[in-house]
Chain A
Amino acid sequence: MAEYKGILICGEVREGKITTITRELITTGRKLSDDLNQRLSILLIGENIQEAAKEAVFFGVDVVYTVDDIPFAESPPEQYLALVSNIFQKAAPSIVLFGQADMGRDIAPRLAARLGASICMDCVELAIDPETRSLLQSKPVYGGNAVAVWASDDVQPQIVTMRPRAAAPAEPDPSREGEILPVAVKIDESVIKSILIETVKEEVKGIRLDEAKVIVAGGGGIDGKEGFELLKELAQILGGTIGITRVPCDEGWMPAGLEIGQTGHVVNPDLYVAVGISGAPQHLAGCSGSKCLVAINKNPEAHIFEEADFGIVGDYREALPPLIEKCKALKK
């Protein structure tokens, strides 16, 4: 077996900046690097990424591999996979980190299959066992009802995707130094089997979910798209935005891009108002980091009350109008 050493982050750059999830990965990767006394490297792909490469060093990376002749967003998965495999051969890391977002969800399993690696998706914590030196991978399972801790001692490399918000984003330190290595990679175009016809970003009116300080979220209890008008009104008064659970998404009441939970966004606003949401662990996986969680539900037995800081038992149609009025008055 080849000698694998160090940690490689598959990073993402958007509009010339290292993304938040990548900064979170740097925090996690830096800790592992220090514990193992090994180097932390990152792969950045896209046009005009030299500034981002310097930024990555300030955030705590030792080696930055840059590939700047391929636009990241329009890269078909097979092309990206070939690129990562190529960098992998150069860096020979023992641990590869991805974010549990669009790219990581898609690429990490393919890479594991190709490299014969071990893999653990959607981890919330990574640690080095002080005795065995194994990588301990903690991951919510059964929709978040339980947490499993895995180790894969005999298999190298170990690929992990990390859930967003599992670590604080790394902060820059301009005194840090590191190497930036531009890499020219020639991809054999015949590996590309899927043609990416278009990438569409759906316009989000107002505040983005991952930046919102206040989120008013509705679930199956809203019972149709009309009810969301009340939620929107409350969100607007509080300077926040709207989120949904899987039911309004699957029923087509609201756009899928608003989904919060295991299969959607992970958020941590200051205030999260859960309206008509029963509190399935799969949904809580996306909002349990909220500083204050308020639940409004007509079922006093609803699981959401186990997780909430404040609760009201009642029909949202009766609860929201006076809440909106009172909030308006208090805001004045």
Chain B
Amino acid sequence: MNIIVCVKQIPDPEIPPVKFKLDTESRCVVPPEGIPPVINPYDEQAVELALRLKEKHGGKITILTTGNESASGVVKHALSLGADEGIALTDKAFEGSDSFSTAYILSQAVRIIRDYDLVLCGRQAADWDESLVGAILAENLGLPLVTLAETVDVVDGELKVKRVTLDGYQVFSVSFPALVTVSHEVGQPRLPSGWGIVSASRRQIPVWDAKDIKADPAKIGFDASRRKLVKLFIPKREKKCEMIEGKTTAEASVKLAERLRQEGVI
């Protein structure tokens, strides 16, 4: 089974909120100093799912990303985990692309790769939390789509996907080729091996630009964006926490229960 996994490089979403900074004037997020960008965690779980499928059914995993010059870093990370190949889609003209343009750019590249059975995307990117690209990409490519997958399997030549719902799950069957968005219930992704890191770091990642993928200039970049960001701000937190203390934790616990009773909460 040949799988394409679409991944995105984002600022580390695990940074403590105090380190999260904005430039409200230019409506931009200021990258945290000294903390390198990472692969979007949901995309890393999509890579994990692809690796599990490859272990079972064989085939090739190709990583696709679009972003600035440093974006090939996340491709290398996926290679270090066990993916076979990767391509970075990078061009000044791609900058400022919204989800529709991003999906368009990816679909142009997928059409060139051609030889695939399954496209995997993370359920959303942990920066803008849009959760749009996977679905739009499926529409662009005319592929059947199953969203929020926890497991994917092959049964009688069809893809069987377990989709997570709020109070249970659904099971879908779709034919190949298909697109599946991956939810975090897939579980923790594996860690790269030392050898994996070394060999991935030596790889040259091919870079495709707008011309290579025959991108229509009217469909990419800032000007193609269907929405405009009018404001970006950090919500104010007005809460003040009353810390309950005691000589021991147990004493504090008893005080807490009394305090909650006083407030009428319990």
Picked from A76, A201, A306, the residue with its CB within 8 Å of the CB of B237 is A306
B185 contacts chain A at the CB level, 8 A cutoff = yes
In the bound complex, residues from chain A placing their C-beta under 8 Å from that of B263 are: 292
Contact, CB under 8 Å: B256 / A294: yes
Contact, CB under 8 Å: A310 / B244: yes
Contact with A along B5-26 (1 / 0, CB 8 A): 0000001011011101010000
Contact, CB under 8 Å: B252 / A319: yes
- Of B100, B170, B185, B250, which is in contact with the most chain A CB atoms at under 10 Å from its CB? B170
In the bound complex, residues from chain A placing their C-beta under 8 Å from that of B175 are: 193
Contact, CB under 8 Å: A114 / B241: no
A63 contacts chain B at the CB level, 8 A cutoff = no
User: What is the CB-to-nearest-CB distance from A22 to chain B, in angstroms, rounded to a whole number?
Assistant: 15
A23 contacts chain B at the CB level, 8 A cutoff = no
In the bound complex, residues from chain A placing their C-beta under 8 Å from that of B256 are: 294, 310, 312, 323
In the bound complex, residues from chain A placing their C-beta under 8 Å from that of B145 are: 77, 110, 194
In the bound complex, residues from chain B placing their C-beta under 8 Å from that of A265 are: 166
Contact A197 B172, CB 8 Å, known A262-B129, A292-B265, A322-B254: yes
Contact, CB under 8 Å: A281 / B17: yes
Contact, CB under 8 Å: B129 / A142: yes
Contact, CB under 8 Å: A306 / B239: yes
In the bound complex, residues from chain B placing their C-beta under 8 Å from that of A153 are: 228
- Of A142, A149, A330, which is in contact with the most chain B CB atoms at under 10 Å from its CB? A142
Contact A149 B131, CB 8 Å, known A113-B136, A271-B265, A310-B244: no
Chain B interface size, as a band, is 35 or more
Contact, CB under 8 Å: A257 / B167: yes
Closest chain B residue, CB of each to CB of A154: B226
Closest chain B residue, CB of each to CB of A285: B129
Contact A303 B260, CB 8 Å, known A152-B227, A202-B168: no
Q: Which residues, 302 to 332 on A, are CB-close (under 8 Å) to B?
A: 303, 305-315, 318-323, 326-327, 330-331
Contact A142 B20, CB 8 Å, known A271-B266, A308-B239, A312-B256: yes
Contact, CB under 8 Å: B239 / A257: no
Contact, CB under 8 Å: A155 / B226: yes
Interface 9-mer from B84-92, B120-128, B202-210 = B120-128
Interface 9-mer from B50-58, B72-80, B108-116, B146-154 = B146-154
Contact, CB under 8 Å: A105 / B131: yes
Contact A141 B167, CB 8 Å, known A146-B233, A250-B188: no
A226 contacts chain B at the CB level, 8 A cutoff = no
Contact, CB under 8 Å: A142 / B166: no
Contact, CB under 8 Å: A146 / B166: no
In the bound complex, residues from chain B placing their C-beta under 8 Å from that of A83 are: none
- Of B171, B261, B266, which is in contact with the most chain A CB atoms at under 10 Å from its CB? B266
In the bound complex, residues from chain B placing their C-beta under 8 Å from that of A142 are: 11, 13, 20, 29, 126-129
Contact with B along A237-248 (1 / 0, CB 8 A): 010000000100
A323 to B244, CA, bound (A): 13
Q: Using CB atoms and an 8 Å cutoff, list the residues of chain A in contact with chain B.
A: 76-78, 101-102, 105-106, 109-110, 112-114, 117-122, 136-137, 139-155, 193-202, 204, 214, 238, 246, 249-252, 256-257, 262-265, 270-271, 280-282, 291-292, 294-295, 303, 305-315, 318-323, 326-327, 330-331
Q: Using CB atoms and an 8 Å cutoff, list the residues of chain B in contact with chain A.
A: 11, 13-14, 16-18, 20, 22, 29, 99-100, 103, 123-124, 126-132, 134-136, 138-140, 144-148, 150, 160, 164-175, 183-185, 187-188, 226-235, 237, 239, 241-245, 248-254, 256-261, 263, 265-266
**14 chain-A/chain-B pairs, Cβ below 8 angstroms:** A101-B166, A105-B147, A112-B132, A117-B226, A194-B174, A196-B170, A196-B172, A197-B173, A200-B171, A201-B167, A263-B123, A303-B16, A307-B237, A308-B239
Give the 10 A-B CB pairs with smallest separation, nearest first.
A314-B249, A109-B135, A113-B139, A193-B144, A326-B257, A149-B231, A323-B253, A118-B226, A322-B250, A318-B249
